[in-house]
Amino acid sequence: MIRRRPGAGRGPAGPAPAPPGTLPELLAHRAAAHGERTAIVNGQARLGFADWQDRSGALAGALRQAGLAAGDRVVLWFGTESWTQYAVAFLAVLRAGGVAVPLSDRTSPAGTRHVFADAGARLVVSAGPGLPAGVPPGVRALVEDGASPHQALVEDGASPHQALPDPAAPGPSAPAQILYTSGTTGAPKGVVAAHANLVHGCTRDERRRPLRHSRTFLHAFPVGSNAGQTMLVNALNAEATCVTAPQFTPARFLRAVAEHGVGSVFVVPAMAIELLGSPALASAADAGGLDTVRLVGSTAAALPQQVALDLSRAFAPAQIVNYYTSTEAAPAQVTLLFDAARPQSPGRPASLTDLRVTDGAGRPVPPGGTGELWLRSPTAPRAYLGGADVEVFHGGWTRMGDLGRVDEDGFLHLVDRERDVVKSGGHKVSTLQVENALHAHPDVVDAAAVGVPHPVLGSVVAAAVVPRGTDPVGSGGDRDRLTASAVRAFLLGLLSPHELPSPIVFLDALPRNEGGKVLKRDLRRILTPDPREATP
The DSSP secondary structure of 89-139, one letter per residue, reads HHHHHHHTT-EEEEEETT--HHHHHHHHHHHT--EEEESSSS--TTPPTT-
pLDDT category of residue 270 using cuts at 50, 70 and 90: very high
174-227 per-position pLDDT tens digit: 999 999 998 766 678 999 999 999 999 999 999 999 998 899 999 999 999 999
494-510 per-position pLDDT tens digit: 999 999 999 999 999 99
> How many other C-beta atoms can be found within 10 angstroms of the C-beta atom of residue 272?
22
Q: Which long-range contacts (CB under 8 A, 24 or more apart) does 353-362 make?
A: 354/378, 355/406, 355/412, 356/397, 357/404, 357/405, 357/406, 362/394
Arch. (CATH architecture) of 421-533: 2-Layer Sandwich (3.30)
Mean pLDDT for the stretch of residues 158-181: 74
198 SS3 class: helix
Q: Give dist(CA 85, CA 69) in Å, integer.
A: 22
C-alpha of 308 from chain center: 18
- The pLDDT score that the predictor gives to residue 475 is 37
All residues at 6 or more sequence positions from 358 whose CB lies less than 8 Å from its CB, including other chains: 364, 365, 371, 372, 374
Type of residue found at 16: A
Q: Is the dihedral of CA 285, 287, 292, 298 positive or negative?
A: negative
Mean pLDDT for the stretch of residues 57-77: 95
pLDDT category of residue 480 using cuts at 50, 70 and 90: low
Whether residue 96 has pLDDT greater than 70 = yes
DSSP state of 507: -
- The pLDDT score that the predictor gives to residue 94 is 97
* Closest listed residue to residue 329, CA positions, set 387, 267, 396: 396
All residues at 6 or more sequence positions from 12 whose CB lies less than 8 Å from its CB, including other chains: none
- The pLDDT score that the predictor gives to residue 350 is 82
- The larger pLDDT score, comparing residue 146 to residue 203, is at 203
Whether residue 35 has pLDDT greater than 50 = yes
Q: Give dist(CA 192, CA 189) in Å, integer.
A: 10
The DSSP secondary structure of 144-182, one letter per residue, reads --SS--EEEESSTTPPPPPPPPPPPPPPTTSEEEEEE--
Task: Please answer whether residues 139 and 125 qualify as being in contact, where contact means their C-beta atoms are separated by less than 8 angstroms.
Answer: no
pLDDT category of residue 155 using cuts at 50, 70 and 90: very low
pLDDT category of residue 147 using cuts at 50, 70 and 90: low
Q: Which CATH topology does 23-195 take? A: Rossmann fold (3.40.50)
Mean pLDDT for the stretch of residues 102-118: 93
Mean pLDDT for the stretch of residues 258-262: 97
Domain spans of the chain, in order of start: 23-195, 421-533
Mean pLDDT for the stretch of residues 255-259: 97
- The pLDDT score that the predictor gives to residue 478 is 52
Mean pLDDT for the stretch of residues 280-292: 96
- The pLDDT score that the predictor gives to residue 372 is 97
- The pLDDT score that the predictor gives to residue 6 is 43
Phi-psi region for residue 109, left (φ > 0), alpha (ψ -120 to 50) or beta?
A: alpha
pLDDT category of residue 170 using cuts at 50, 70 and 90: confident
Mean pLDDT for the stretch of residues 35-61: 96
> What is the pTM (predicted TM-score) of this model?
0.90
143 SS3 class: strand
Q: Give dist(CA 285, CA 314) in Å, integer.
A: 8
Whether residue 367 has pLDDT greater than 50 = yes
